[in-house]
């Protein structure tokens, strides 16, 4: 009287054991590669947060508005460079 858990199981052939090990290695390498890519992306995004500079004047500063308009008028002339 033995239970199904105590019954002897068939031993795998060497080819089956090798293919099982190969599959395990491939899965492990893929997992580690994905994990390292996620870590690299995280560090890149953490280091390069970026800051945005806006040139909007504060409320109630009309001189800044005039200065912005005069700066945009200067940029309309295109300079030509001959090579």
Q: What is the pTM of this model?
A: 0.45
- Compute the distance between CA of residue 73 and CA of residue 63 in angstroms, rounded to an integer: 16
Name the residue with tokens 């795998």. 12
pLDDT tens per residue, range 12-63: 777 878 889 999 999 999 999 999 999 999 999 888 877 777 766 566 555 5
Of residues 5 and 20, the one with the higher pLDDT is: 20
Alpha-carbon distance values, 15 to 19, 22, 43 (Å): 6, 10, 42
Minimal CA–CA distance to 55: which of 45, 65, 40, 43?
65
pLDDT score of 73 more than 60: no
Q: Cα separation of 70 and 67, whole Å?
A: 5
For the chain, domain boundaries? 15-51
């Amino acid at each position: 009287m033995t239970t199904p858990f105590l019954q002897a199981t068939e031993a795998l052939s060497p080819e089956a054991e090798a293919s099982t090990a190969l599959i395990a290695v491939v899965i492990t390498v893929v997992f580690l590669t994905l994990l390292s890519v996620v870590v690299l992306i995280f560090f890149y995004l953490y280091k390069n947060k970026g800051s945005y500079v806006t040139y909007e004047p504060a409320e109630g500063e009309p001189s800044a508005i005039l200065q912005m308009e005069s700066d945009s008028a200067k940029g309309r002339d295109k300079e030509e460079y001959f090579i």
